[in-house]
Amino acid sequence: MGRIGTTELLVILMIALVLFGGSRVAGLGKALGTSLREFRSEVNKGSEKKEEEPTAVKAEK
């Protein structure tokens, strides 16, 4: 429970198509895909940078 099934997804897409039109829905999909791709690349850059940083050594007093 709580997961969106295939039927529900199709109904949502059909409603979006009727409300916004085909060209606008395609543009929204492209923008969403571009945003996700950029987000993933930034997350990967952050994790790579974290691995490259040396661990700090505590100074003994």
For residue 2, being part of any structural domain is answered with no
Q: How far apart are the first and last CA of the chain?
A: 57
Across the chain, where does the E strand assignment appear? none
Q: How far apart are CA 36 and CA 10, in angstroms?
A: 21
Please give the pLDDT value at position 25: 86
Q: How confident is the model at residue 7, as a pLDDT?
A: 95
Output phi, psi for 21, to 5 deg. Answer: 90, 160
The answer to the question of residue 12 being in a domain is no
pLDDT by residue, tens only, the chain of 61 residues:
678 899 999 999 899 899 989 889 889 889 999 999 999 999 888 777 766 656 666 666 5
Tally of domains within the chain:
1
Which residues span the domain enclosing 40?
Answer: 26-52
